[in-house]
RNA sequence: CGGGGCGUGGCGCAGCCUGGCUAGCGCACCUGCUUUGGGAGUAGGGGGUCGGAGGUUCGAAUCCUCUCGCCCCGACCA
């Protein structure tokens, strides 16, 4: 490809609305342009990268006998009604009507469609297991799209679905899928972790995420510094150490005035106590009504764990307005003693004594609160976030570390959730009808590319891992109007393509500095500088983007060495 | 959805508070000449309903009202 003919609109300055480095660099390198919030056009350089990622995914999916399909992005409402998600999915599902007033949605995911295909076409246990996958455009009308292609509303996703007759078969595929995922992300040159995860709205009970470590990531993952336990923080278990302290004298309940002291900080400062003495009461709105969650004052409540403990369909933090309406109190003085809500407590709470809580009266807190004596708790469980330095839940000496990351892949076992609601049944060897067991597996294609930039860049621009670089090499003629340089550059270009190296020829009449800047911004792994000086000595210069190292090689004899230089990167 | 910010040639911005000639600057773009081993110099040139609508005024990018869009901070997800 000749640079002068390609649409590579590079920018010297970052667009003002880009926040994270991958977004800035993708725009600057002319890979993407924004159309609307969370909706992007992918330009030639960007598409080349996405196609590389897709190809790697395809190869690994095919290796585990995945079969590629292409499902409709526009899906009828009836199908979603069958699974129950038409009502459940909320505003994130983009809905619209056709000319006949029939309701449709733009697919945010494809469980319904694939389950429909399989229930129609797969009837016998002999046809199972089967893995089907596609690489498709999804649309999720996110509350807050951001960070460019990393969290768009429209995005490309590889989604795979597997169908089984037994749990064992499901787990087998799950594990081959997880190793395929590991290979994919390794091949994309990413530093990632596979972590335990909550299965979210899709449901199921066995789930892992593939998280690329990056400070700009929106996810927090916790992992043990001594064993291999790693988990999304929203799921990460906490271990509660049993206290050996002799039970202290149990105080009686006492009211203390705490005028205008609402936050944990204010109260602890005012009463001169550690936040560990406080019990935090947080009210959530759920499909089962308002509930209160209790954690120690220095802890963060984890809504996902709470949701699982309550076993409710949905849960959101209650608005102050709603709280006031229900309890007659402003936030800040709520307490678990004699409150008229169902109470769910973290497992640390029963170990506390002589605690301090809100009193459900304005300006007053209670001291001497005892779990057994004073609280009427519905259920106790793990509902707090794990913290850095917490003991590992899996091993003894281990301590928890927390890092930020970008979720690029997610695998989970769905079980019979969709096959039961949508009647996807097969006949077993005895001729008995049974629901199919399912698994589902996703990879964000664009997000993977963005994550690769987050991990591989410097102040000059992107440093693509060669496997997903838009081009592997770029020829930079020092002066393209010099005949010797011109013809040498063309010869190198031709030879490299013949050797299977995807090469870009910068045939623009720009000065060398400009070409360097663009090559660096674009992140092409190998630069080949062709100039009259070196050419006079029968040499050309090759330079690595990664570390700026350069060497002279003989021209034309050593052009054939270039593929092996690339493969060592 | 709540809170904050911003909309001025393709990109980055100034001008707005305190209304006043033809709306500026840098980069990019086009033409000529020179230049060509790290974002060239020079001389010309093209391109803007100042997000939109309404209002105030002799006069609006500037003031007022409404509206649309985008970005950032919090609950969701590949």
DSSP run (H or E) holding A164? strand A154-164
Q: Are residues A278 and A424 in the same domain?
A: no
- Residue A200: the pLDDT is 54
Whether the predicted pLDDT of A494 surpasses 90: yes
With CA of A441 and C1' of each nucleotide, the nearest comes out as B78
| A533 CA, B12 C1': Å apart | 38
| A17 CA, B5 C1': Å apart | 11
Write the pLDDT tens digit of every residue in A296-339: 888 888 888 888 888 887 777 776 667 777 777 766 778 888 88
Q: Are residues A546 and A439 in the same domain?
A: no
- Residue A150: the pLDDT is 93
| A15 CA, B12 C1': Å apart | 8
With CA of A300 and C1' of each nucleotide, the nearest comes out as B75
Whether the predicted pLDDT of A112 surpasses 90: yes
Does residue A133 belong to any structural domain of this protein?
Answer: yes
CB atoms within 10 A of CB A101: 6
- Residue A22: the pLDDT is 95
| A545 CA, B12 C1': Å apart | 27
Closest listed residue to residue A205, CA positions, set A193, A216, A217, A197: A197
Give the residue numbers spanning the domain of A33: 3-7+14-237+402-453
* CATH, residue A159: 3.30.930.10
* pTM, full prediction: 0.91
Read off φ and ψ for residue A519, nearest 5 degrees: -60, -40
- Residue A282: the pLDDT is 84
Query: Which residue has the least CA–C1' distance to nucleotide B28?
Result: A11
| A12 CA, B24 C1': Å apart | 21
Percent of chain A with pLDDT strictly greater than 90:
59
Whether the predicted pLDDT of A187 surpasses 90: yes
Whether the predicted pLDDT of A227 surpasses 60: yes
**Per mean pLDDT, which range of A85-89, A111-115, A332-336 is the poorest?**
A332-336
CA angle at A301 for the pair A296 and A305, rounded to the nearest 5°: 125
With CA of A407 and C1' of each nucleotide, the nearest comes out as B78
Q: Using pLDDT thresholds of 50, 70 and 90, give the confidence band for residue A233.
A: confident
If one counts the domains in chain A, the total is 3
Q: Using pLDDT thresholds of 50, 70 and 90, give the confidence band for residue A218.
A: confident
Higher pLDDT, A236 or A100: A100
- Residue A204: the pLDDT is 47
With CA of A460 and C1' of each nucleotide, the nearest comes out as B39
With CA of A410 and C1' of each nucleotide, the nearest comes out as B78
**Per mean pLDDT, which range of A4-18, A70-84, A345-359, A452-466 is the poorest?**
A345-359
Does residue A249 belong to any structural domain of this protein?
Answer: no
Whether the predicted pLDDT of A542 surpasses 70: yes
Please tell me the distance from the alpha carbon of residue A316 to that of residue A293, in angstroms, as a whole number: 12
Q: Using pLDDT thresholds of 50, 70 and 90, give the confidence band for residue A246.
A: low
Q: Are residues A525 and A554 in the same domain?
A: yes
| A332 CA, B38 C1': Å apart | 61
Query: At which of A348, A381, A414 does a domain end?
Result: A381
Does residue A188 belong to any structural domain of this protein?
Answer: yes
**Per mean pLDDT, which range of A75-79, A194-198, A202-206 is the poorest?**
A202-206
Q: Are residues A315 and A189 in the same domain?
A: no
DSSP run (H or E) holding A87? helix A85-88
Higher pLDDT, A371 or A319: A371
Q: How confident is the prediction for chain A on average, in pLDDT?
A: 90
Nucleotides of B under 7 A from a protein CB: 1-2, 11-13, 26-28, 35-40, 69-78
Query: Which residue has the least CA–C1' distance to nucleotide B70?
Result: A37
Write the pLDDT tens digit of every residue in A36-70: 999 999 999 999 999 999 999 999 999 999 999 99
Q: Using pLDDT thresholds of 50, 70 and 90, give the confidence band for residue A287.
A: confident
Does residue A391 belong to any structural domain of this protein?
Answer: no
| Residues forming beta bridges with residue A531, ordered by sequence position | none
Does residue A388 belong to any structural domain of this protein?
Answer: no
Does residue A81 belong to any structural domain of this protein?
Answer: yes
Does residue A463 belong to any structural domain of this protein?
Answer: no
Higher pLDDT, A200 or A1: A1
Peptide bond between residue A412 and the one before it cis (omega within 30 degrees of 0): no
Rounded mean pLDDT, A376-397: 86
Q: Are residues A345 and A415 in the same domain?
A: no
| A29 CA, B62 C1': Å apart | 36
Q: Are residues A343 and A434 in the same domain?
A: no
| A45 CA, B11 C1': Å apart | 19
| A37 CA, B54 C1': Å apart | 28
**Composition of chain A by helix, strand, coil, percent to 5:** 30, 30, 35
- Residue A245: the pLDDT is 59
Whether the predicted pLDDT of A205 surpasses 50: yes
Q: SS in 3 state form for A398-451?
A: CEEEEEEEEEEEEEEEEECHHHHHCCCEEECCCCCEEECEEEEEEEEHHHHHHH
With CA of A39 and C1' of each nucleotide, the nearest comes out as B70
With CA of A412 and C1' of each nucleotide, the nearest comes out as B78
DSSP run (H or E) holding A492? helix A483-498
Whether the predicted pLDDT of A469 surpasses 80: yes
Whether the predicted pLDDT of A425 surpasses 90: yes
């Amino acid at each position: 490809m000749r640079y002068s003919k390609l649409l590579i609109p590079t920018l010297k300055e970052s667009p003002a609305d880009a926040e994270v480095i991958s977004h800035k660099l993708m725009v600057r390198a002319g890979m993407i342009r924004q159309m609307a919030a969370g909706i992007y056009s992918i330009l030639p350089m960007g598409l080349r990268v996405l196609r590389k990622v897709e190809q790697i995914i395809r190869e690994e999916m095919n290796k585990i006998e995945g079969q590629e399909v292409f499902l409709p992005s526009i899906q009828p409402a009836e199908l979603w009604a069958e699974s129950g998600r038409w009502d459940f999915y909320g505003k994130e599902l983009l809905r619209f009507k056709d000319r006949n007033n029939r309701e449709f949605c733009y697919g945010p995911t494809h469980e319904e469609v694939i389950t429909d295909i399989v229930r129609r076409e797969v009837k016998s246990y002999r046809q199972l297991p089967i893995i089907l996958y596609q690489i498709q455009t999804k649309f999720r009308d996110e509350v807050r799209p951001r960070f460019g292609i990393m969290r768009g509303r429209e995005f490309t996703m590889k989604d795979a679905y597997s169908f089984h007759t037994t749990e064992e078969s499901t787990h087998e595929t799950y594990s081959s899928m997880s190793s395929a995922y590991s290979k994919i992300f390794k091949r994309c040159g990413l530093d990632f972790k596979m972590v335990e995860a909550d299965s979210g709205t899709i449901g199921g009970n066995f789930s892992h995420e593939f998280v690329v470590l990056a400070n700009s990531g929106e996810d927090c993952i916790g992992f043990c510094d001594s064993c291999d336990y790693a988990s999304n923080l929203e799921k990460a278990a906490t271990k509660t150490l049993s206290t050996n302290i002799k039970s202290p004298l149990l105080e009686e309940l006492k009211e203390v005035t705490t005028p205008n002291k609402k936050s944990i900080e204010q109260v602890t400062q005012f009463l001169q106590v550690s936040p560990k003495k406080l019990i935090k009461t947080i009210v959530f709105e759920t499909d089962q009504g308002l509930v209160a969650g209790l954690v120690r004052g220095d802890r963060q409540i984890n809504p996902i764990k709470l949701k699982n403990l309550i076993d409710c369909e949905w849960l959101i933090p209650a608005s102050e307005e709603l709280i006031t309406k229900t309890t007659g109190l402003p936030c800040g003085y709520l307490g678990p003693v004699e409150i008229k809500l169902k109470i769910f407590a973290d497992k640390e709470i029963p170990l506390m004594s002589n605690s301090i809580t809100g009193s459900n009266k304005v300006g007053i807190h209670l001291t001497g609160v005892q779990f057994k004596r004073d609280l009427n708790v519905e259920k106790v469980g793990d509902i707090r976030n794990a913290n850095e330095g917490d003991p590992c839940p899996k091993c003894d000496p281990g301590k928890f570390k927390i890092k930020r990351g970008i979720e690029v892949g997610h695998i989970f076992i769905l079980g019979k959730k969709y096959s039961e609601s949508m009647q996807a049944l097969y006949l077993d060897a005895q001729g008995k009808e049974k629901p199919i067991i399912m698994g589902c597996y996703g990879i964000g294609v664009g997000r993977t590319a963005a994550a690769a930039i987050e991990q591989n860049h410097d102040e000059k621009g992107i440093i693509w891992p060669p496997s997903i670089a838009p081009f592997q090499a770029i020829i930079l003629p020092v002066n393209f109007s010099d005949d010797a340089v011109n013809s040498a550059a063309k010869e190198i270009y031709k030879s490299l393509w013949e050797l299977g190296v995807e090469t870009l020829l910068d045939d623009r009449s720009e000065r060398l500095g400009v070409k360097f800047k663009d090559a660096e911004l674009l992140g092409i792994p190998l630069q080949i500088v062709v100039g009259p000086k070196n050419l006079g000595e029968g040499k050309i210069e090759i330079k690595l983007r990664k570390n700026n190292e350069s060497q002279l090689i003989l021209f034309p004899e050593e052009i054939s060495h270039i593929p092996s230089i690339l493969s060592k990167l």
